[in-house]
Structure formats: C-alpha cells, structure tokens
Amino acid sequence: MARRLSIHFRKPGLWTTVQDAGRAGHQAYGVPEGGAADQSSCRLANWLVDNPAHAPVLEITMNGPTVEFSESAQIALCGANIEAKIDGQMCPMYQTVTVSKGSTLSFGRLVKGCRTYLAIRGEWQLQPWLGSVSAAPRQAADRTPDSYVKKGDALSIETDDQVVRREIEETLRPTYPTRLRLRVVAGPELRNFSPVSVAYFFSRGFEISNQADRMGYRLEQAIWQYTASEELISSAVLPGTIQVTGSGQAIVLMPDAQTSGGYPRIASVITADLDRLAQTKPGDELWFTLVNQEEAQMALQERENDLQRS
C-alpha cells in the first residue's frame, strides 16, 4: 500500500546532498557528471532497501544531519562510520533497518571513512536536472533545489509496506584506512614531467589538505623540481584526473570538478579506486601506484564482481 513519507532535517550536517549515478553525457557543455562520490556504497545501500541500484541517496559528509521520519521507513547506511543512532540507540550499518514513525536518525563522531550513504526505500520525489537528482554544481544549485540539504528542509518519498531484510556480511564490508594506495594510469602530460618529479610523485605519500571537497582534493607537498611549463590549452578532465598547478601542488579531481582545465595531468586514479578515494579526508595520506590499462580494466571487473557477490 503506497504511502508518502516525509523526512525533516532538524540539522543539515556538514555537507549533505542528494546524489544518484550522476548526469553523464553533458561534459561538452561544461556540466560535470557529479553523482555519489562512492558509487559502491550508494549501490549497496540501495540494494539493502531493494531500491534500484542508482536510486537517489543522501550523501553525508563527515558530520551527519538530524533527520526525523514522519512515517515508518526502511533505511540502510553504507560507507563511513559516523556513529548513526536511531532515537539515541546505535543504528547498525550494512543492513536493512526499519525505523518507526516519528523516530529520529542522528549521527555522532566520524570514526572511519569520510562519506556515508543513506538509502531510504521508495521513490524520492525530487526535481531532476538533465536526468539526475544529483546536486548540480554549486553555481547552478537552483536547478536541483531539493538536493542541497539545509536546516528545516524536507524530502518526500513515496514508499510501500513491502518488508525486505538484507544484510552485507562483515567480511564484505570495506575498511577505510587513513593511509592508502590508489592505482593510477599515466596522465597525458606525464612525459612532460622531469624524471625526478615523476619519481617523487610515486615514491611517497601525499597528505590531503583542508582544501578538499566534491570538486577536488588539493594535496600538500609540492612536487620536487617541478618546472611549470606554460599552461596548456584547455582540454577535458575527468573525476580522478590528477592535475599539477604552477606551484607543483597536485589536485585530485572529484565528481563535481570542472569539465576542462589547463593544468598538466600527471596521472588519473583508476575508476575502480574512486570509491576508496571518496572515503578519504583532510589529513589522510595518499600513495600512488602506476598501473596500465589492462590492470585498470581488471580492477574494475573485480570491483563489479565484489559488488555482485555482496
């Protein structure tokens, strides 16, 4: 029996947005793909509530919102552990949870990871833009007015009473270390970097600075012996592309990054590792390992197999 559920945000959290698989296909018009930064967690959470894999979810960043449910609902949380609680009691992650009418979901301390994904069973009633309800780039935020969560906002979801209980076993739940290796393929301008600069890039960890958001993560430590060549003529960049600015600082691009740029591209994080990148935050340390196209493809296939298995 269909019913309408409203969720009310008593507190918005640090950076809470609605995300789905994004709006691919408009990069030629300057529109970034966007979408959940950790697509695996998004898909798993949706599966746990039997929503389509790329149904909308709430992407919650580091500091969570306080959400009141007007009706009972089935929810699931995957991704970072931000001490989720229902009416003050610990709320388990990685399983279907039924919340009762009038209950409140809140969060505590960030324990692990960076972003957690809240799936709620049902059809989210939101204004899409270019086929997606992912929060549009900030300057175009009014195209997706419901997708940037502010205090006092409410979201409507058409849901039903179908009860589904699922769980993802512990061994299949990702862990989120604060120092990790990301696999990258060579960037188009790698060959413009000196051997010392390249060696430096691959030989040590880079700390994520405080300038880290859905557009990009700026890394500390300038690359040694980096001689800034003239800026390149703008061409396309993708999430995962690692640009190096004039001062030798690297920026790892994220889903809301601009679609073009003029900085040299030293490397690109492989698609299979973007989910893990999305679970890192300022202060964490990234190491880069060079792989080739075949290894990148295999990694992507492995990731897909793992997701299917869960």
Partner 1 sequence: MIDMMALGDRAILLNFDQRIDATINDEVIALTQKLKQQQLRGVLTFVPAYCSLTLIYDPFQTNYSRLASQIKAVYEEVDSANEQEAPRHMTIPVCYNGPDLAEVADLKELAVDEVIAKHTASSYRVYMIGFLPGFPYMGKLGEELRCSRRPVPRREVPAGSVAIAGLQTGIYPLTAPGGWQLIGQTPIPVFREDPSNPFLFRVGDQVQFRPIEEAEYETIIKQLKADQFDWATIYG
Question: Which has the closest alpha carbon to 174: 34, 303, 21?
Answer: 303
62 binds partner 1 (CB under 8 A): no
> Which one of 21-29, 55-63, 73-81, 211-219 is the stretch in contact with partner 1 (CB under 8 A)?
21-29
Residues 291-310 close enough to bind partner 1 by CB under 8 A: 293, 296-297, 300-301, 304
Token match 């798993």: residue?
44
Q: Is 114 exposed, middle or buried (0-12, 13-18, 19+ CB in 10 A)?
A: buried
Chain centroid to CA 133: 15
Q: Is 212 exposed, middle or buried (0-12, 13-18, 19+ CB in 10 A)?
A: buried
| Contact string 165-204 vs partner 1 (x = CB under 8 A) | --------------------xxxx----------------
Q: Is 154 helix (H, G, I), strand (E, B) or coil?
A: strand
Q: Considering the complex, what minimum distance in angstroms separates the CB of residue 179 from partner 1?
A: 23
Residue selected from 100, 178, 210, 260 as contacting partner 1 according to rule CB under 8 A: 260
Chain centroid to CA 124: 19
- CA dist 220 and 232 (Å) reads 23
Residue selected from 194, 210, 234, 289 as contacting partner 1 according to rule CB under 8 A: 234
Question: What is the DSSP code string of 109-135?
Answer: ---EEEEEEEEESSEEE---BTTB-SP
> Which one of 10-18, 22-30, 61-69, 91-99 is the stretch in contact with partner 1 (CB under 8 A)?
22-30
Could you count the other beta carbons within 10 Å of the beta carbon of residue 162?
11
Residue selected from 251, 270, 277, 286 as contacting partner 1 according to rule CB under 8 A: 270
Residue selected from 8, 11, 15, 24 as contacting partner 1 according to rule CB under 8 A: 24
| Contact string 110-129 vs partner 1 (x = CB under 8 A) | -------------------x
| Contact string 72-111 vs partner 1 (x = CB under 8 A) | ----------------------------------------
- CA dist 258 and 139 (Å) reads 12
Q: Which is nearer to partner 1, 121 or 214 (CB)?
A: 214
Quick one: which H or E segment has residue 167?
A: none
Q: Considering the complex, what minimum distance in angstroms separates the CB of residue 133 from partner 1?
A: 13
Residues forming contacts to partner 1 in the complex (CB under 8 A) are 24-31, 129-130, 136-137, 139-140, 185-188, 232-238, 240-241, 258-260, 265, 268-271, 293, 296-297, 300-301, 304
